[in-house]
A and B are shown apart, each in its own frame.
Chain A
Amino acid sequence: MKKFLLPLALFAVLVVFLGVGLKRDPREIPSPLVGKPAPLFSLPTLSGDKPFSPADMKGQVWIFNVWATWCVACREEHPLLVQFAKSQRIPIVGLSYKELQGSEAANAQSSEADKLQLARERSLKFLQKAGDPYKLSVMDLDGRVGIDYGVYGVPETYLIDQEGIIRYKRVGPLTPEILIETILPLIQQLDKPA
């Protein structure tokens, strides 16, 4: 007798999982880098001074924001970043990711230096118009550093602590809710003396 109820029971379990699944986004991938040291690199910066490495930020909590001028979703979060930068709470370092991606003009340029120059020009022009929240921006033209950071969709934002460990990653534009509910409290927590 009981065994005939088994199909119904199994089905009920399935429905529960499907119901929970409805609330999930199957395309959002959690990052395996949270809790691990931020991958090291040395890249040229937007302003053209000495190259930057994450080690330079040791001793501070900082935000690492991946962006590009061709990225439409980045425009959504840009004003928020600019405003946050004004509060001078913690520095924001930008990663200009594959700025010349798919660009016809870029393919025509032959040298790396020329490409870098073009990317800088584009980024500066954008930041002049939209505001510059970045303490500095590094230029990742071929996306290699992006790969090391597990970047798959721009914009992405990382919160990195004083020891250089990644504490949080956000894929997609930053929203005020995320800033207030997640990032700021985390910064507070990290700022406390050990």
Chain B
Amino acid sequence: MKYALLVACLSVMSWLVQAGEAQPMAQDPQVEARLVVIAEELRCLVCQNESLSSSHAELAEDLRREVRKLIRENKTDAEIKTYLVERYGDFVLYKPPLKPLTWPLWFGPFLLLVLAIGGFWRYLRQRRQLTHHHLDAAQRAQAEQLLKD
């Protein structure tokens, strides 16, 4: 009996409670979505090493506000990045721009891979030639025989 009464009360209460679906923090989720993507590639300038999207620093808040404003003005990602680079230099970009200064950075790993695979291939072929010279057919047969015994 007591239990039924409790259930009845709770049901009434839950009907009375005005709770609803939580609203997103952002004013405009679409703008926010773009902000997150762009800010992930930008550096927080006053932090030890954090992206603009995750930092809690004041300047980071200011810059995120600035980027939101630019997004609302329908600027492209590239334009927004250029806007910031004009003011803070390349340092603000976590993805270094591709220019002669950064060619070694962007092409280096690929070049290294090509050189390494090339060296690897050459080594194996050289190795094969060298060791194949050690035994000719007759000696090979002899060695096989010995091993079988």
Contact between B59 and A152 (Cβ–Cβ < 8 Å)? yes
Contact between A32 and B89 (Cβ–Cβ < 8 Å)? yes
Residue in A29, A146, A148 whose CB lies within 8 Å of B91 = A29
Chain B residues at the A interface, C-beta cutoff of 8 Å: 45-46, 58-59, 62-63, 66, 85-89, 91
Please, could you name 23 A-B residue pairs with CB atoms under 8 Å apart, sorted by A? A29-B45, A29-B89, A30-B89, A32-B86, A32-B87, A32-B89, A33-B86, A33-B87, A98-B58, A102-B58, A142-B62, A144-B66, A146-B62, A147-B62, A147-B63, A147-B66, A147-B87, A150-B88, A150-B89, A152-B46, A152-B59, A152-B88, A153-B46
Contact between B89 and A31 (Cβ–Cβ < 8 Å)? yes
Q: Tell me the interface secondary structure of chain B in the complex.
A: helix
Which parts of A1-55 form the interface with B (CB within 8 Å)? Answer: 29-33
Residue in A101, A143, A149 whose CB lies within 8 Å of B87 = A149
Contact between B88 and A29 (Cβ–Cβ < 8 Å)? yes
Chain A residues at the B interface, C-beta cutoff of 8 Å: 29-33, 98, 101-102, 142-144, 146-150, 152-153
Closest to A152 in B: B45
Closest to B69 in A: A144
By a CB distance below 8 angstroms, the chain B residues around A146 are 62
Q: Tell me the interface secondary structure of chain A in the complex.
A: loop
Contact between B91 and A150 (Cβ–Cβ < 8 Å)? no
By a CB distance below 8 angstroms, the chain B residues around A144 are 66
How far apart sit A146 and B46, CA to CA, in the bound complex (Å)? 14
By a CB distance below 8 angstroms, the chain B residues around A147 are 62-63, 66, 87
Known: A101-B58, A102-B58, A153-B46. A148 touches B87 (CB 8 A): yes
By a CB distance below 8 angstroms, the chain A residues around B63 are 147
By a CB distance below 8 angstroms, the chain B residues around A143 are 59, 62
Contact between A150 and B58 (Cβ–Cβ < 8 Å)? no
